[in-house]
Amino acid sequence: MSDAGNVDAVNESVQAFKEAVDEFRNAHKLVQELLSEEEKENDYDDWFEPRITNLNYFLNDVETWKKDIVQSTIRPSDSISNVSQKSKSSSSIRSSASRSSSVSAELKKAKAEQAAALARVAALKEKHALQMEEAKLKLKMEQIELEADLAASTAKIKTLQSDEVDQKPSLGDGMNEYYSSHQEPERCYLSTPESRLLFVCRFPFVAISIGFTINKRVEVGVVYSCLEDKMFTARRGGGAFCNGEPLQVSDQTDVHRSIIATEFGSNRDPEVVDKIFSSLRNILSLPVHGVRGAGTAAVNLSLVASGCVEAYYEMGMHVWDIAAGSLLVLEAGGIVMDVDGGDADLMSRRILAANNRSVALRLVEQIAPYRPDRDDAPPAACD
């Protein structure tokens, strides 16, 4: 590409970068609306300001570079001395290709910051919903206690049968929201928890997961473990982090000393259940140090990336459950593949993530795979 073409590419990327920064600002405004006055000030000083300052610093640097490029342009009316002087700055024009690359990298960073802010918005809304649900349940419990006291006083009996609060939470896991961007090849996969079920069960390991893909490759991943208040972030080529601290997978190479994470899924077909328990029995019999399950694919993958467990496998989850987490594992130094040892295919609804290939391949030998319907399969025809 010519210098002029490279400069044009930089201009286009800068415009996209500005838009991403504006979107980040707007997303943070939504965060602020959900915080108390004290939280707003701390959030702005500790979270937002350092990030927006870095983005603005880079933008100012690019704008300065663009001005230098304009000033270095040689016009026909320039004197020989000016031509000589301006030729010295031609190196900045030749550097436009690398500048275009750096702007693209910063654009991904800005989008990652926006995704993190949106994840915080969703988490805060979820937190407020939980608080409202808790207040309603507390009021209902107080009413039940009052009714029990009145009954005891009236009937003058020593023992009362306690009434159970009739809680009928949704049986859906709330993780089936699928959001696409308006145009290909960019796509965003979002997974959110279902508040009522989580509140009633009081299960601590629930997460919001956002994966941003370009040409079917995950470029940015954000997983927010809501009740733990842990924000996991990853950008392709930029590493993986938890609350700003870098992540690294476990260095364990002995499968017998490894902890393996998995889930039973939601498919209750007898043949599928048999395969699930066959895989579990085979892995336990290797033996391994232990088998655990955090309840959600996003958290399980975050545990692999954090070095808390050596591997995680599952069949039947969806692409929006694993897109972000798979990038966390890769950027933390791990590997992601299919449960049969082949290349990872996030649309296949099958995944094996591990700290290293040695542990992964030992698990591949023990897993009894089955093939769920693909996430990109066409809808079934109606009769």
Q: Binding site for Mg(2+): residue ranges?
A: 321
Q: How far apart are CA 1 and CA 379, in angstroms?
A: 43
Q: How far apart are CA 334 and CA 310, in angstroms?
A: 9
Please report, as a single letter, which amino acid is at residue 29: K
β-sheet bridge partners, residue 175: none
In the annotated binding site, the residues are: 321
**Smallest Cα–Cα separation from 89: which of 63, 60, 58, 66?**
66
Rounded alpha-carbon distances, angstroms, from residue 48 to 32, 105, 210, 221, 307:
10, 20, 19, 19, 29
Q: Could you give the count of Cα atoms lying within 13 Å of 367 in the half-sphere of its Cβ?
A: 25
Rounded alpha-carbon distances, angstroms, from residue 74 to 11, 95, 169:
20, 17, 72
| Helix orientation angle between 96-155 and 3-33, rounded to the nearest 10 degrees | 20
Q: How far apart are CA 170 and CA 255, in angstroms?
A: 38
Strands of 335-337's sheet in order across: 290-292, 259-262, 311-315, 350-354, 335-337
User: Residue 205 corresponds to which tokens in the numbers above?
Assistant: 């390991």
Taking the mean position of all CA atoms in its chain, how far away is CA 215? 18
Q: Could you give the count of Cα atoms lying within 13 Å of 47 in the half-sphere of its Cβ?
A: 20
Tokens 């415009």 sit on residue: 15
Cα 261-376-339 angle, rounded to 5 deg: 30
Q: How far apart are CA 268 and CA 358, in angstroms?
A: 31
